[in-house]
Amino acid sequence: MTTTVVCIPGDGIGPEVAAAMKTVVQTTNAPIRWVDAPAGAETLATHGTLLPQSTIDAIDRCRLAIKGPTRTPKGAGHSSINVELRRRFDLHVGLRPFRSLPFPQGTIKDNVDIVLFRQNTEGFYDCREDVDLGPDGPEVTMSARFTALAMKRLAESAFLFARKHGRKKVTLITKSNIFKKWGYVYRNAFDMIAANYPDIEHNVDDVLIDAASMNLVMSPEHLDVIVTENMFGDILSDLCAGLVGGLGVAPGANIGETHAIFEAVHGTADDIAGKGVANPMALILSAAMMLDHAGYPGEAVRIRTAINEVVGSGHFVTGDLRKLYPQGTHLCTTKEFTTAVCWALHHS
Ligand code: ATP
């Protein structure tokens, strides 16, 4: 049987890393059939819309998609396609694993193995911003929604994951000393789910986002599975990516009850787009997550092993990771890195 997966190349370095990812998946011989679908700022120019109905229909039909980054301008301009897709398909779990790779020079911290569960569909990412002219100039009013239901569903996914993967502890991160009602609602919902998982440890005292950020930098080995709200999850994702080598190596998934969309944590990296030097590792590792989800765990493991081999060999490094290799190491292109991974797969 073949599994059909929608592939959205996206903007910036998206098409380059998506092509690399497809080559690697094809090399595993996993029975994946790709349906290419457009979305992003470049699609706006060609199709007159950021997210064509045909793309939405394809995701709806296949229930499985992998996407490259799509551009969201800072400040004014169009809203995020990711936020729209997460909302539309109720992809309420943002799942992001951060694992140390065997870089020759090591990373900021070795032995990081953290899995972050980010609430993906509510909070500040789903709030209205109203601008008024007040007595002292422009004023923005925001009103965000945080529901017990969303935290229950997220916590359930995190505890289930912890049990399935033999993880020891789930930690809820909030800002309950300032946002007391929101903190109370999320805490209560989390505790209700935690009570059903006596075999998994969880934090009884609140862990605040500020303290958690410092702990992650100083002693990440104390954190195992993290559960947190949408915006905190976004910020902690980049922090955790920094711990394991940078945005070029951090994969991710957006998962709902029926649909799932896999994507790297990084954005469009416009500064290097079109130059053939982007690191495709994050999207390739996202594809491994997709293969796990689609029922091809053997192929997923082979991809992770091949990546570890290539990283550990010290011979193939894209520019974003140059600091993790000895000075003077030859920097490779996206294609060279991809070929090295495929070569490792052929010999696995
Ligand atoms: P966004 O707002 O969409 O998150 P951003 O510009 O803030 O985008 P990214 O595009 O994710 O952030 O990346 C920031 C920088 O990190 C890029 O400019 C690029 O130099 C580097 N970078 C990110 N991803 C990669 C990658 N896959 N390969 C190489 N460099 C990368």
Tens digit of pLDDT for each residue in 160-214? 999 999 999 999 999 999 999 999 999 999 999 999 999 999 999 999 999 999 9
Tens of pLDDT, residue by residue over 36-86, are: 999 999 899 899 999 999 999 999 999 999 999 999 766 656 678 998 999
Q: Report the pLDDT averaged over residues 116-134.
A: 93
Tell me if 289 sits within 8 A of 30, measured CB to CB.
Answer: no
Whole-number pLDDT of residue 78: 64
Whole-number pLDDT of residue 76: 58
Strands 64-67, 32-36: parallel, antiparallel or unpaired by DSSP? unpaired
Give the Cβ contact number of residue 343 at 10 Å: 15
pTM of the full structure: 0.94
Strand, helix or coil for residue 178: coil
Ligand 1 pocket residues where CB is under 6 Å: 13, 69, 72, 247-248, 266-269, 271-272, 278-279, 282, 318, 320
Q: Would you mind telling me the total number of residues written for the chain in this entry? A: 348
Q: Report the pLDDT averaged over residues 241-252.
A: 95
Q: Report the pLDDT averaged over residues 135-157.
A: 96
Tell me if 59 sits within 8 A of 89, measured CB to CB.
Answer: yes
Query: Which of 266, 275, 334, 335, when mutated, tests ligand 1's pocket best, judged by the most ligand atoms within 8 Å of its CB?
Result: 266
Contacts of 39 (CB under 8 A, 6+ apart): 8, 10, 50, 51, 52, 55, 67, 70, 81
Mean pLDDT computed over every residue of the chain: 95
CA of 137 relative to ligand 1 center, distance in Å: 34
Q: How many CA atoms lie within 13 Å of 38's alpha carbon, on the beta-carbon side?
A: 12
Task: Using CA atoms of 199, 224, 248, 235 in order, give the dihedral in degrees to the nearest 10.
Answer: 110
CA of 280 relative to ligand 1 center, distance in Å: 12
Q: Report the pLDDT averaged over residues 115-123.
A: 97
Please give the Cα distance from 23 to 159 (Å, whole number). Answer: 34
Please give the Cα distance from 323 to 267 (Å, whole number). Answer: 21
Q: Report the pLDDT averaged over residues 101-108.
A: 83
Whole-number pLDDT of residue 73: 67
